Chains A and B, each alone.
Chain A
Amino acid sequence: NAGVMQNPRHLVRRRGQEARLRCSPMKGHSHVYWYRQLPEEGLKFMVYLQKENIIDESGMPKERFSAEFPKEGPSILRIQQVVRGDSAAYFCASSPRDSTRETQYFGPGTRLLVL
């Protein structure tokens, strides 16, 4: 029973390039969450998606960042025109259904380094 999968595990980009981070939720999970962890900081919520819907994007930066979770395939977090401040670990989590009590299961993260 595979857990949450993220790829790539490490990504290096130069300033101005685009970064695409992928997340495949656990089997049977239809809710996906993205978090960002800056060095020496806790995780900050970015966005919550269900299949083909963005439910809550209150933590997403207003510019350059977007996320999707299509009917088929993984969820994608896209960062356009990356800057050095985007260097961080990006974690994806998934949960099976609507519930305040449902546990979120985390992937291993993608560590983005912007040169």
Chain B
Amino acid sequence: GDSVTQMEGPVTLSEEAFLTINCTYTATGYPSLFWYVQYPGEGLQLLLKATKADDKGSNKGFEATYRKETTSFHLEKGSVQVSDSAVYFCALTQGRGGADGLTFGKGTHLIIQP
């Protein structure tokens, strides 16, 4: 079946550091790929998405490129802020003939220190 693998956390960085959170996937066909962010005590918010190979999703300074050849969708940000501290989830969906459930990675807890 489909699966998503993320780097283990927590990841601790200083403010203004460069961020990379690795995400690789296993799936048949051509899934859509997503990054969601979860702040403490809240639900998930969509951060960015990409629906086909070589697409780049971007939002709030975060970027991720859909790499079919390496089955990856790594999340990057050039300069992180304390407010970026949260749990980040990589996810995919196949949608066989219609929208279906997302398959999530286990999440990466990001901690940004001032």
Interface of A toward B, CB cutoff 8 Å: 4, 6, 31, 33, 35, 40-46, 48, 55-56, 58-59, 91, 93, 95, 97-109
Count of chain B residues with a beta carbon within 8 Å of a chain A beta carbon: 26
Within the complex, what minimum Cβ distance (angstroms) separates B46 from chain A?
6
The answer to whether A106 and B43 touch across the interface, beta carbons within 8 angstroms, is yes
Residue on B with the closest CB to A46? B101
- Which of B4, B43, B46, B106 has the most chain A CB atoms inside 10 A of its CB? B43
* Given A43-B89, A105-B46, A109-B43; 17 other pairs, CB 8 A cutoff: A41-B106, A41-B107, A42-B4, A42-B104, A44-B104, A45-B102, A48-B99, A55-B98, A55-B100, A58-B101, A59-B101, A97-B99, A98-B97, A98-B98, A100-B32, A101-B95, A109-B42
Bound complex: CA of A104 vs CA of B102, how far in Å? 9
Bound complex: CA of A56 vs CA of B92, how far in Å? 16
The answer to whether B43 and A107 touch across the interface, beta carbons within 8 angstroms, is yes
B44 close to A (CB within 8 Å) = yes
**A-B contact count, CB below 8 Å?**
75
Interface of B toward A, CB cutoff 8 Å: 4, 32, 34, 36, 42-46, 49, 51, 89, 93-95, 97-107
Bound complex: CA of A70 vs CA of B81, how far in Å? 44
Residues in B whose Cβ lies below 8 Å from that of A43? 44, 89, 102, 104
The answer to whether B89 and A31 touch across the interface, beta carbons within 8 angstroms, is no
Leading 9 A-B pairs by shortest Cβ distance: A100-B95, A45-B101, A42-B104, A98-B98, A106-B43, A106-B44, A42-B106, A108-B43, A43-B104
Residues in A whose Cβ lies below 8 Å from that of B103? 45
Residue on B with the closest CB to A59? B101
